[in-house]
Amino acid sequence: MLYSLDSLNCGDMDKATLHPSGRDPQEWQALLEQFLSHGSEEGLLELETNITSDPVTYCCHGLNKPVKELAELEANFSSVIIPELPVNSSAYARHLSEDILNQVVPVSSPTFVGHMTSALPQHLPAMGKILTALNQNVVKLETSHILTALERQVLGMMHKLVYNCDETFYNQWLHNGDYALATFCSGGTLANLTAMWACRNQLLPADGDFAGLAREGLARGLIHYGYSGLAILVSELGHYSLKKTVDVLGLGQDSLIKIETDRNGRICTSALLAKLQELRQRNIRPMAIVGIAGTTETGSIDPLNALADIAEQEQCHFHIDAAWGGASLLSERHRHLFAGIERADSVTIDAHKQMYVPMGTGMVLFRQPSLASAISQHANYIVRKGSKDLGRHTLEGSRCAMSLMLHSNFHLLGRRGFAQLIDASIEKAQQFAVLIRQQEDFELISEPELCLLTYRYVPPKVLQALHVASEPDRQKLYDELNALNQHIQTMQWSAGQSFVSRTTLQPTQWDRQPTTVLRVVLANPLTTMEILEEMLKEQRQLAQKSPHWHTLQALAH
């Protein structure tokens, strides 16, 4: 058995420094040593050194062998009893190394191109260790002090990157504790939620005998202002966190209105205008228009200036979800794709995506620093009125100082270093698109606007057949093709050597039929064209071994 609490516990029971009976001074001393001494973690330090001296290689050492079935792993992680006695740290380090870490997903591997994460700059593990050791809590000054000033600076840098306001603006607002230019949060989901929370509260403020939505709630707010409902409008490629957002905020998922996209995955503004008209007739107030700058599924960027115009005209909040794409603002060459972003009332950016920091570094930026007032909080012992505690403006309470991770990347890569990484990623995606087009048995489904594209495997005979077959044969073919691509993706993951993700799109070139596609994100600077060529070869081989391939051949005959 891979994981056995029994073996861990009983084997080490003799070495245990604690006894079942009450605490005596000697025991206590032993526990404190266990708790604090440097020597006791030798095994772990060795493991740490192995992993972090070359995370790409370490995390890839599970490569070239098939991924273990989850069911098998689950069986090994099925005891719910907390180990009664401590085990020594070398034994634990061995357990970690042999039974756990050799089965983690090599997300840093240059052959794992299905994620929005990448290999990270080499200095970050050290930063992770430092942050853990310092364990600051940025919710309040008393547990973060200097890092409060540093966080506000880093957020100011992000604000400048997006909104590029002048010096007077930042002099006035950067360190003004009653306002916030932006807030950190654990990720894009909370960033979108925070933006929409502020927007909702601001839309139905105190007025006459109504104390405001934050106080009296949504139902009374709607009655007071005479609306039948509120709505958030976004393209059909909007991130699923928005559905969560409208649910959490009490608006209900039906109030998230999805607008169709064009061939390039961009929101159709005419469809948006028509929907706004319809909402007006139903007495539903559009609360926010959400533009996407880099959709999760296709990497497309909505026409931001056009959306800003519409939002202005509707007097409606304009939010941009640039969780993944926003980092590309750091590139002079590609910044123009985001024209109009500076007109957004709020913007979501995840630094743990294309800004190369670890998980947990989401941000929401506010054009007007006063927007944060709609969600500000206080209590007797923390985030008191007038204080500079960062927790006054965040959804979360206690938080670690992830701003330091971004601070280190800003300094160790520099704006130009980022730009080079981003430019290279986009260039690579364009080259990969060319490569896919050159293959007779692969079809590019969405073009890379940033460094993300989708494609699928289609044997040429099947492609021909799809164009000539009549219903219901055509449908059968299409379904089987979807099944084949799903199978390729799963088999490739299980083989463990490389990874692309998959999703279902409704491409206009295929009459918006649900289409299973392979999805590739090329942000890892270690991914080469040779790797991508090999990956296509592997997919072709997997396809030809799949039972769906034979069914397709027969159907296309």
Q: For residues 310 and 351, which CB has a smaller minimum distance to its own copies in the complex?
A: 351
By CB under 8 A, is residue 128 in contact with its own copies? yes
425 binds its own copies (CB under 8 A): no
Q: Which of 4, 61, 63, 76 binds its own copies (CB under 8 A)?
A: 76
Is 447:265 a contact under the CB 8 Å cutoff? no
Residue 261 and residue 231: Cα distance in Å, rounded? 18
Q: Which residue has the tokens 């027969």?
A: 554
CB 224, CB 207: distance < 8 Å:
yes
Stretch that binds its own copies, among 304-312, 314-322, 335-343, 395-403 (CB under 8 A): 395-403
Nearer to its own copies, 181 or 444 (CB): 181
Among 40, 305, 370, 431, binds its own copies (CB under 8 A): 40
| H helical segments located in 210-303 | 213-216, 218-225, 241-248, 269-281
Q: Which is nearer to its own copies, 157 or 462 (CB)?
A: 157
Question: What is the helix (H) or strand (E) element at residue 163, kind and residue range?
Answer: helix 146-163
Q: Which of 66, 252, 460, 547 binds its own copies (CB under 8 A)?
A: 252
Which position among 60, 113, 127, 371 is part of the footprint of its own copies (CB under 8 A)?
127
Give dist(CA 359, CA 405) in Å, integer: 10
Q: Is 429 in the site for its own copies (CB under 8 A)?
A: no
Residue 526 found at the interface with its own copies (CB under 8 A)? yes
Q: Which of residues 299-358 bind its own copies (CB under 8 A)?
A: 330, 350, 352, 358
Residues 157-196 that bind its own copies (CB under 8 A): 157, 159-161, 170-171, 174-175, 186-190, 193
d(CA 379, CA 369): 21
Which runs of E-coded beta strand occur in 155-302? Answer: 182-185, 229-235, 256-259, 284-292
The reply to whether 283 sits near its own copies by the rule CB under 8 A is no
Does 528 interact with its own copies (rule: CB under 8 A)? Answer: no
In 265-420, beta strands by DSSP E: 284-292, 317-321, 346-350, 362-366
Q: Give the one residue of 6, 247, 440, 533 binding its own copies; rule: CB under 8 A.
A: 247
N-term to C-term CA, the chain: 49
Distance of closest approach, residue 78 Cβ to its own copies, in angstroms: 6
Does residue 263 touch its own copies according to CB under 8 A? no
Touching its own copies, residues 452-491 (CB under 8 A): none
Does residue 503 bind its own copies (CB under 8 A)?
yes
Site membership for its own copies, residue 530 (CB under 8 A) = no
**CA–CA separation, 233 vs 230, rounded Å?**
10
| Contact indicator for 190, 239 with CB cutoff of 8 Å | no
Site for its own copies contains 437 (CB under 8 A): no
Quick one: which of 14, 209, 254, 530 contacts its own copies (CB under 8 A)?
254
Q: Measured between alpha carbons, how far is 304 from 307 in angstroms, rounded to an integer?
A: 5
Instruction: Note whether 134 binds its own copies by CB under 8 A.
Output: yes
Residue count of the chain, please give it: 557
Question: Looking at 178, 205, 218, 513, which residue binds its own copies (CB under 8 A)?
Answer: 218
Interface with its own copies includes 217 (CB under 8 A)? yes
Query: Least separation, in Å, of the C-beta of 6 and its own copies?
Result: 13
185 to 344, 525, 526: CA distances (angstroms): 19, 26, 29
DSSP string of 109-135, one letter each residue: -TTB-SSS-----TTHHHHHHHHHHH-
C-beta of 146 vs 274, nearer to its own copies: 146
Member of 288, 375, 436, 520 binding its own copies (CB under 8 A): 375
Instruction: Give the CA angle between residues 413, 414, 419 to the nearest 5°.
Output: 90
70 binds its own copies (CB under 8 A): yes
Least separation in angstroms between residue 510's CB and its own copies is 16
